[in-house]
């Protein structure tokens, strides 16, 4: 278990332990129920290490989950360009740590207040609370968006603007079921489809062409 991830659940563990102790004076079965919840919480906040492919042409998933949609649309918040969006739905059974899809520097991070509609709904991207990240290297610029869901109510950001990330590095997490979106350049070859299950930091979702022009450039000044 990774300490930084487990610390996000510290108050949940404290509450469940206290309830387990208190209920043991009333009935053993109730105490066992709270012990089961403690193990379930440990399972939810698991954060395994995973090897990321070193090939700079390969883009990996930013989250565990199921690919729900792949569409072309205008990314209007940051890059103002047509891109391919890959939506990943994270159920309560998936690892909820978010990982860098490429080597690169974080050049943008912006939180947006919003609603908490079901993360499987197609309109959640515009309505729900979110955190948008832009990661850039000399070859490509990728937007990653963390979205809350009906159960997920907290987006956690561990990284900050200016941080240099290696592919697969953890930059944050979303607590409980939610959605993560990646906005990829149109010249990237997509290697996944709707319905596929992916692992953050490990599953290759797209490949950049061997010879590319300049990456979409974006500079953000606070």
pLDDT digits (tens, 9 = 90+) for 143-194: 999 998 877 578 999 999 999 999 999 999 987 768 999 999 999 999 999 9
Q: Say which DSSP state 194 is in.
A: T
- In the numeric block, the tokens 């697969």 are attached to 168
How far apart are alpha carbons 67 and 205 in whole angstroms? 10
The residue from 24, 178, 202, 217 that is catalytic is: 178
Could you write out the three-class secondary structure of 34-50? Answer: HHHHHHHHHHHCCCCCC
216 has pLDDT over 60: no
Contact 173/154 with Cβ under 8 angstroms?
Answer: no
Going by pLDDT thresholds of 50, 70 and 90, the confidence category of residue 212 is very low
pLDDT of residue 5: 84
* Residue 135 β-bridge partners: 106, 142
Catalytic residue status for 130: no
Cα–Cα distance, 139 to 193 (Å, whole number): 24
Q: Has this prediction a pTM greater than 0.75?
A: yes
Element housing 19 (H / E): helix 10-24
Euclidean distance between CA atoms 216 and 185, whole angstroms: 8
Residue bearing the bigger pLDDT, 117 or 62: 62
Specify the pLDDT at position 168: 97
Which residues is 59 bridged to in the sheet? 206
Query: How far is it, in rounded angstroms, from Cα 133 to Cα 108?
Result: 5
The whole-number pLDDT of residue 177 equals: 66
Residue 66: band (very low, low, confident or very high) from pLDDT cuts 50, 70, 90? very high
Q: List the chain domain ranges.
A: 3-44, 58-207
> Is residue 105 within 8 Å of residue 162, measured between CB atoms?
yes
What mean pLDDT is predicted for residues 43-69?
Answer: 94
CATH number at 58-207: 2.70.70
d(C-alpha 119, C-alpha 186), whole Å: 25
DSSP-assigned letters across all residues of 46-66: -----PPP--TTEEE-SSSEE
pLDDT at residue 214 is higher than 90? no
Q: How far is CA 144 from CA 12, 30, 75, in A?
A: 28, 42, 11
């Amino acid at each position: 278990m990774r300490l930084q991830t487990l610390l996000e659940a510290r108050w949940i563990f404290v509450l469940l332990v206290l309830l387990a102790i208190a209920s043991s004076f009333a009935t053993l079965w109730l105490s066992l129920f709270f012990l089961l919840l403690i193990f379930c919480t440990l399972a939810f906040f698991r954060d395994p290490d995973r090897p990321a492919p070193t090939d700079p042409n390969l883009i990996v998933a930013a989250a565990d989950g199921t690919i729900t949609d792949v569409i072309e649309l205008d990314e209007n918040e940051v890059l103002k360009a047509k891109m391919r969006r890959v939506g990943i739905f994270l159920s309560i059974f998936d690892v909820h740590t978010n990982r860098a899809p490429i080597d690169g520097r974080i050049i943008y991070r912006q939180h947006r207040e919003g609603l908490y509609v079901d993360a499987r709904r197609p309109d959640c991207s515009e309505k729900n609370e979110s955190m948008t990240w832009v990661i850039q290297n000399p070859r490509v610029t990728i937007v990653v968006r963390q979205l809350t869901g009906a159960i997920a109510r907290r987006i956690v950001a561990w990284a900050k603007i200016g941080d240099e990330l290696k592919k697969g590095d953890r930059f944050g997490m979303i607590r409980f079921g939610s959605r993560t979106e990646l906005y990829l350049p149109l010249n990237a070859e997509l290697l996944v489809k709707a319905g596929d299950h992916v692992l953050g930091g490990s599953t290759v979702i797209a490949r950049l062409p061997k010879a590319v022009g300049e990456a979409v450039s974006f500079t953000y000044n606070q």
